[in-house]
Amino acid sequence: MTQSTDRGAPPARHITTRSVVAVRGQVLEVRPDRIVGEAPLEIRAAGPGQEPVAVAVTMRTPGHEAELAVGFLRTEGLIEGPEVASWEAGDPVTLSQPDDTIVVRLSVPFDDSAVAERHFVATASCGICGKASIDEIALRCETLPEGPTVARAVIIALPDLLRAAQRAFDETGGLHAAALFSPRGELIAIREDVGRHNALDKLVGSQLLAGELPLHDRIVMVSGRVSFEIVQKAAVAGVPIVAAVSAPSDLAIETAERLGVTLIGFLRGDGFNVYTHDRRIELRDLTGWG
């Protein structure tokens, strides 16, 4: 399995075309419009000889279904990653859209007790409800490294780099994005979805399938605000730096502080706020501390 930024044409059903009545001042026009796709994805998991267990149903933008499924299972602490053996879409005989179901096959038995205990309910807008405590998340996160140290100029450049890579957003204006960068600002991968949590799960899933986890030498940049779930998922994947164009919630900041994540918000123009663990951002030229 190889790593790719997938900057070609969007996947099937990712974007659709609809006729709209467009009103602009005193002008009315009937024209085609490009619309972001949204459909449910049922995520199932099974070990050797097991019947697939329904884990969650999440509303998502079609495309990269396997990445979303394995990324979700990993960031929610249901698998470690190396045990993913294969995946398959739903039965084309019984389903009109087989890729609305993904079964992840594991090389070891799947423990479905955690699914029953946590009562997953997922939507594209709010992520997974009924989260365990930050303490429980900390137990399943590896300790993040002290580094990397990233130049201020790299951080400032991330929003433009993210925007330039958002092909589907350019066509629809309706997608969140999560992108993975090197400490030098090189784009590694980007994924888009109507749900910011889904975009990050797809991104993590792409790296899991490429054998790149943990992501200890990487930066995640997200297009919206930073919620608790974004920080939690990034930390589970081993990401030490999370940046966003908008604001973090207070629980996101508390989670980042506890888990050792450098959290950056309001990244716009030549400014940004560093809320936690600022040691990873090169700021000595501004402080005069040498």
Show which residues are catalytic.
126
75 near 237, Cβ under 8 Å? yes
- β-strands 84-89, 101-106: how paired? antiparallel
In angstroms, the CA 225 to CA 28 distance is: 34
DSSP 8-state class, residue 226: B
Instruction: Give the DSSP letter string of 181-195.
Output: E-TT--EEEEEEESS
Distance of CA 245 to the CA centre of its chain: 15
User: What DSSP element (H or E) covers 276?
Assistant: strand 271-276
Helices 65-75, 228-236: axis angle to 10 degrees equals: 90
The residues near 246 (Cβ < 8 Å, ≥ 6 apart) are: 224, 225, 226, 265, 266
Terminal-residue alpha carbon distance, the chain: 45
Structural contact between residues 263 and 252, judged by C-beta atoms closer than 8 angstroms: yes
Q: What is the DSSP string of 63-89?
A: S-HHHHHHHHHHHTTS--STTEEEEEE
Q: Which two tokens stand for residue 210?
A: 């490429």
Is residue 287 a contact partner of residue 279, using CB atoms and an 8 Å limit? no
Cβ-based neighbour number of residue 135 at 10 Å? 8
Nearest Cα to Cα of residue 64 among 193, 177, 170? 193
